[in-house]
Amino acid sequence: MLTKKENLLETIKGGNPDRFVNQYEFLEVLLDIPISITMVTPGKEIKNEWGITFRWPEGQIGGFPVQDDGHIVLKDITQWEKYVKAPSVIAPEEKWEEAIKHANSVDRKDKYVTPFIAPGIFEMTHHLMGVENALTNLYEEPEKMHELIDYITDYEMRLAEQIISHIHPDAIFHHDDWGSQTSTFMSPKMFEEFFYPSYKKLYKYYKDNGVEIIVHHSDSYAATLVPYMIDMGIDIWQGVMTTNNTPELIKKYGGKISFMGDIDSGVVDFPEWTAENTAKHVEKACRRCGKNYFIPCLTQGLGFSSFPGVYDAVSKEIDNMSKIMF
């Protein structure tokens, strides 16, 4: 039996895996690195180091930035330097101790030590000013948006240096949603102009410093951006929804990038979920996408579900499909 790491490599290289890679089993995700990841809990409101307020209302399945007039950080893109102040990436060494201990406890022959990094560069722009303003300003104030994106990228590069020096990660799990369920938030050409250069620079730095696998999360439609993902250095696109036609993407791009998802969280992860419905969607994903260049997984980012039991039920059914198909 192959190790989790060996099986992952056989899968993404088009070799001979002995089972499906089961969701996040190959990643040891580190959530304990001392960076500004906003983890708001149900019913709470917090303000992060960028000054962005997040709120998770009772009864909702997640937290979101609060962007009314009283809370929005970036009120005028033409004066972004006045409003946007990146936090320091330098943390006292004792704050790294837990993450270092976690990383050192991992058998790196079996799993990839993988820091989780969020929000992404595009997400940071709209966390600061709202989605509508962020997208509008790409058209109306492109020079200032380039300046802001460069500033956020510089922050990410400094953060990457700290992660590399303290953790020596094998993989990176980087979050940045680039679309809705049915379309990207911007045209491919606009993506190429504003965000592609930043990610190419960032992911090259990680690869040049020992990172073997880049996993990028975008649970959305982003099929038109796959060529850019490949050129950026992304090895696995996590969050690929069925609206992307995953089998066609595998046929077209398999061998250059792999696809992790095709089990849309919205159709299996809800309060009245059932094991039967979960099994149906897992089987459909596994049979239509096949054994290579594909990792069956909930499209939601990270190894959990919004409602208790769903993630484990999906994992169980993936194991069942491995017994049937391998």
Q: Which is more confidently placed, 101 or 40?
A: 101
pLDDT for 36 beyond 80: no
pLDDT for 170 beyond 70: yes
pLDDT given at position 58:
78
Token readout for 303 is 């190894």
Say which residues have a Cβ less than 8 Å from residue 267's Cβ, sequence separation at least 6: 277, 281
The backbone region for 213, taken as left when phi is positive above 0, alpha when psi lies in -120 to 50, beta otherwise, is: beta
Say which residues have a Cβ less than 8 Å from residue 265's Cβ, sequence separation at least 6: 219, 298, 299, 300, 305, 306
pLDDT in tens, 95-130: 999 999 999 999 999 999 999 999 999 999 999 999
Query: Bridge partners of 30?
Result: 115
For residue 140, how far is the Cα from the chain centroid? Answer: 28
Which numeric CATH code is attached to 4-325?
3.20.20.210
Structure pTM? 0.97
First-to-last CA distance in the chain? 12
Q: How much of the chain exceeds pLDDT 70, in percent?
A: 99
**Span 25-35, mean pLDDT?**
93
pLDDT for 201 beyond 70: yes
pLDDT given at position 38:
67
DSSP for 205-238 reads: HHHHTT--EEEEE--S--GGGHHHHHHHT-SEEE
- Domain range list for the chain: 4-325
Distance, in Å, from the CA atom of 7 to the CA atom of 3, rounded to the nearest integer, reads 6
Peptide bond before residue 308 is cis, with ω within 30 degrees of 0:
no
